């Protein structure tokens, strides 16, 4: 049985298609992020920058910022603001337990997120 030979036009089409596929794959790999950190401290820096951005100062935070803390909704955040206005700034993070319904366990959930200036 004789096989059909590819025409010159078909060969050119296959060659151009193959070249385009190789080019697309090369560009895709060049555009991807590295699988490992560029520097030894790159992942540590990214984590600390994220943590710094998420930290909340209990003495200066507004309602919206306080609501980002775990276990704090609008009502508790407003209670913190009211307590801060009535009794002055907090000296320690633990001082926020003077607000009703905020316990030591709630503060432990905040871990490194909350601080006082």
Model-wide pTM > 0.85: no
The structural domains of the chain, with segments of one domain joined by +, span: 54-115
The yes-or-no verdict on residue 37 having pLDDT over 90 is no
The pLDDT tens digits of the residues spanning 66-100 come to 999 999 999 999 999 999 999 999 999 999 999 98
Q: Residue 33 has which token pair?
A: 């992020």
Q: Residue 48 has which token pair?
A: 């600390």
- Whole-angstrom Cα distance, residue 34 to residue 77? 41
The CATH code for residues 54-115 is: 1.10.150.320
The pLDDT tens digits of the residues spanning 41-70 come to 555 666 567 667 778 999 999 999 999 999
Contact 116, 88 (CB under 8 A): no
The pLDDT tens digits of the residues spanning 5-27 come to 888 999 899 999 999 999 998 88
């Amino acid at each position: 049985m004789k096989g059909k030979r590819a025409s010159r036009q078909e060969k050119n089409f296959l060659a151009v298609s193959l070249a385009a596929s190789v080019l697309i794959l090369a560009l895709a790999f060049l555009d991807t992020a590295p699988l490992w950190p560029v520097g030894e401290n790159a992942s540590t820096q990214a984590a600390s920058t994220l943590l710094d951005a998420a930290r909340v100062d209990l003495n200066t935070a507004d309602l919206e910022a306080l609501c980002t803390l775990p276990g704090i909704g609008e009502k508790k955040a407003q209670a913190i603001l009211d307590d801060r206005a009535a009794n002055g700034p907090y000296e320690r993070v633990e001082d926020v337990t003077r607000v009703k319904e905020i316990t030591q366990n709630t503060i432990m959930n905040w871990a490194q997120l909350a601080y006082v200036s």
